[in-house]
């Protein structure tokens, strides 16, 4: 492409030299223009044929546009050389042809922007060319307006036209020297005619990589270090707004802000909420009018080395600031720097918000676990209290009975062991796990029955043979005690409660049945196994059946319920042998 342009430039110089030697003879000039346009056509043809498929599709509109103008000029000057002058009616058509070629040129420019061909021109050249074009269009518009006023104004037409022209020129000058307009034009040109300073795909991948590979102690430090790396900052702070014009320092690196900055932070918070603007202290020093309505003490910020404040938004909610100390104290942010910092601050804000939510969730789970542990401990204490209450209630009647005394000592020993277990759980802040051991479940159920039969209706046990299973003795004793207690409480004194133990091929079936009030199918599905849901009012915790189901399922067993309202209930326990 460069050699073709060099050839075209050389041909133009040669043609100009020949015309100078021939003393600008009209006939010679026409022949030279014919030769120049012929050369242009040859060059366009060579460029088109020499281009690859991708480039050819991009330059086709350009070749058509320039080729059409070159052909028209070739015919125009060829005719002029023959008749000794330019046909001006034909010459006027040239402008319309050039206007028709503009859309084709724009199509080629658009294809260049999409990557087929890239052209790099000085931004200042494009900016000042654009400003001159704006000025030219504005003056042309004023000239047309002046002509119309002059045409329609009669004797006063020239005066009105001249006054209008002067007024328009003043407006134009004011418009062009306004810094805001100049800045907007510069940003528009940079965004639409030049490659970006940052490759956002690479920046995005780099941000993800920094988050994944960071070794910071916490996510606040990680976020601040990432933001600092984007502007080569030597220090920074993450400030979180607490809702009453106060800020909390979440993490600080090499910068300290005292209470003297509170007023400025309050003003900056209100400004950023309304303008969504990054605060560049260096830019503010140079032109405070760029930050309308913001009045801060920039010297105090410079005193601690701060020159950039980036607002953090989570969704549409204001979170706080990244306060940064830039190593280049004289530099200012351009629009591309601001766009990048806004995008990164947005992502880091979401990252911080997600981790804060995870912290709150983890804390909530810790409280839930502690509350659950407390509920089970209270449940165990309630069972121990119930055992001791049975002794007290029957002491007067059976205190002289030797068997009763033996049962009392056995019950007190069991209660002591369970209280010791509860104390261990409280000290360790977790539910203590008992070791499994091989026991005869029939014997355990008999012991539970002996304790429960101080109440009516009495419980009868049916078992066919010894049933040895490796199990947590204390938890099995506790859940069976609770299931039998529930059956007794749901059955009138004249009713019955049976416990049947049946050994099958590879499993053991324990069925606790009664002829009490029964339960509805809806209650069984929706409430029976739901923790902390009780029908006993303040007397119950609502976790007995829930604990029983969890226990049996933890050892690969199951607990199912069959019940009919007004007829009774069956608790069916299936355990692997």
Percent of the chain that is helix, strand, coil (3-state, to 5): 65, 15, 20
90-112 pLDDT per residue, tens: 777 777 888 888 888 778 776 65
Find out whether the peptide bond into 287 is cis, omega within 30 degrees of 0.
no
238 pLDDT more than 80: yes
Per-residue model confidence (pLDDT) at position 539:
47
Per-residue model confidence (pLDDT) at position 117:
45
162 pLDDT more than 70: no
**Pairwise pLDDT comparison (512 vs 412), residue with the higher score:** 512
- Using alpha carbons, select from 285, 298, 485 the residue that is nearest to residue 379: 485
Per-residue model confidence (pLDDT) at position 116:
43
442 pLDDT more than 70: yes
541 pLDDT more than 60: no
Identify the band that residue 328 occupies on the pLDDT scale cut at 50, 70 and 90. low
Q: Where in the chain is the domain with CATH 3.30.450.40?
A: 200-353
489-530 pLDDT per residue, tens: 889 988 999 999 888 777 888 899 999 888 888 888 877 877
Tell me the CA distances in angstroms from 483 to 286, 459, 543, one per residue in order: 81, 12, 11
Three-state secondary structure call for residue 475: helix
Domain 434-576 CATH assignment equals 3.30.565.10: yes
Greatest alpha-carbon span in the chain: 150
Mean pLDDT of 2-16: 63
Measure the N-to-C terminal CA separation of the chain; round to a whole number of Å.
88
Residues 6+ apart with CB under 8 A from 44: 63, 66, 67, 70
Neighbouring CB atoms inside 10 A of 571's CB total 22
6 pLDDT more than 70: no
Q: Give the Cα separation of 30 and 9 in Å (integer).
A: 18
Q: Which residues pair with 249 in a beta bridge?
A: 239
167 pLDDT more than 90: no
379 pLDDT more than 90: no
Per-residue model confidence (pLDDT) at position 310:
92
This prediction's pTM: 0.43
**Pairwise pLDDT comparison (301 vs 130), residue with the higher score:** 301
Q: Give the Cα separation of 236 and 253 in Å (integer).
A: 5
Per-residue model confidence (pLDDT) at position 436:
72
Length of the chain: 577
Q: Where in the chain is the domain with CATH 3.30.565.10?
A: 434-576
Phi-psi region of 135 (alpha: psi -120 to 50; beta: other; left: phi over 0): alpha
| Cα-to-chain-centroid distance, residue 363 | 22
322 pLDDT more than 90: yes
180-211 pLDDT per residue, tens: 666 666 666 555 555 556 666 777 777 788 77
**Pairwise pLDDT comparison (18 vs 73), residue with the higher score:** 73
Per-residue model confidence (pLDDT) at position 237:
92
**Pairwise pLDDT comparison (139 vs 382), residue with the higher score:** 382
CATH architecture for the domain at 200-353: 2-Layer Sandwich (3.30)
């Amino acid at each position: 492409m460069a050699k073709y342009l060099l050839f075209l430039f050389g041909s133009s110089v040669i043609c100009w030299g020949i015309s100078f030697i021939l003393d600008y003879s009209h006939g010679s000039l026409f022949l030279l223009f014919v030769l120049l346009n012929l050369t242009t056509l040859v060059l366009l043809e060579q460029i088109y044929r020499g281009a690859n498929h991708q480039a050819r599709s991009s330059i086709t509109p350009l070749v058509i546009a320039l080729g059409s103008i070159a052909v028209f000029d070739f015919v125009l000057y060829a005719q002029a050389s023959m008749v000794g002058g330019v046909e001006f009616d034909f010459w006027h058509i040239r402008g319309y042809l050039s206007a028709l070629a503009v859309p084709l040129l724009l199509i080629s420019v658009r294809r260049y922007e999409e990557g087929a061909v890239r052209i790099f021109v000085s931004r200042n050249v494009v900016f000042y060319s654009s400003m001159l074009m704006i000025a030219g269009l504005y003056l042309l518009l004023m000239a047309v307006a002046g002509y119309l006023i002059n045409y329609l104004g009669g004797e006063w037409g020239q005066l009105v036209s001249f006054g209008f022209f002067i007024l328009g020129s003043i407006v134009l000058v004011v418009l062009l020297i306004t810094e805001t307009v100049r800045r907007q034009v510069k940003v528009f040109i940079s965004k639409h005619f030049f490659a970006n300073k940052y490759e956002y795909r690479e920046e995005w991948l780099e941000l993800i990589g920094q988050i994944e590979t960071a070794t910071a102690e916490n996510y606040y430090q990680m976020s601040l270090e990432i933001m600092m790396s984007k502007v080569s900052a030597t220090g920074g702070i993450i400030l979180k707004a607490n809702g009453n014009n106060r800020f909390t320092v979440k993490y600080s690196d090499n910068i300290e802000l005292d209470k003297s900055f509170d007023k400025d932070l309050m003003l900056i918070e209100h400004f950023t909420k309304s303008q969504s603007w990054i605060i560049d202290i260096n830019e503010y020093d140079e032109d405070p009018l760029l930050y309308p309505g913001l009045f801060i003490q920039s010297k105090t910020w410079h005193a601690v080395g701060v020159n950039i404040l980036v607002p953090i938004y989570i969704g549409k909610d204001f979170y706080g600031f990244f306060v940064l100390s830039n190593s280049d104290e004289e530099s200012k942010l351009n629009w591309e720097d601001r766009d990048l910092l806004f995008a990164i601050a947005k992502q880091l804000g979401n990252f911080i918000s997600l981790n804060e939510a995870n912290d709150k969730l983890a804390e909530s789970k810790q409280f839930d676990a502690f509350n659950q542990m407390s509920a089970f401990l209270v449940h165990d204490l309630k069972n121990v209290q119930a055992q001791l209450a049975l002794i007290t209630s029957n002491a007067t009647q059976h205190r002289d009975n030797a068997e009763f005394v033996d049962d009392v000592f056995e019950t007190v020993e069991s209660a002591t062991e369970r209280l010791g277990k509860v104390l261990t759980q409280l000290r360790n802040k977790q539910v203590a796990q008992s070791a499994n051991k091989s026991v005869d479940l029939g014997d355990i159920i008999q012991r539970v029955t002996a304790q429960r039969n101080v109440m009516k209706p009495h419980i009868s046990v049916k078992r066919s043979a010894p049933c040895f299973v490796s199990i947590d003795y204390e938890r099995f004793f506790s859940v069976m005690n609770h299931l039998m207690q529930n059956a007794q409480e749901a059955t009138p004194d004249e009713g019955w409660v049976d416990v049947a133990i049946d050994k099958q091929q590879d499993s053991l079936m324990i069925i606790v049945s009664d002829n009490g009030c029964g339960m509805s199918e809806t209650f069984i599905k929706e409430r029976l196994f739901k923790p902390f849901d009780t029908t006993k009012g303040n007397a119950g915790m609502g976790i007995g059946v829930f604990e029983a189901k969890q226990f049996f399922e933890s050892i690969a067993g199951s607990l199912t319920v069959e019940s009919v309202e007004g007829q009774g209930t069956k608790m069916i326990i299936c355990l692997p042998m």
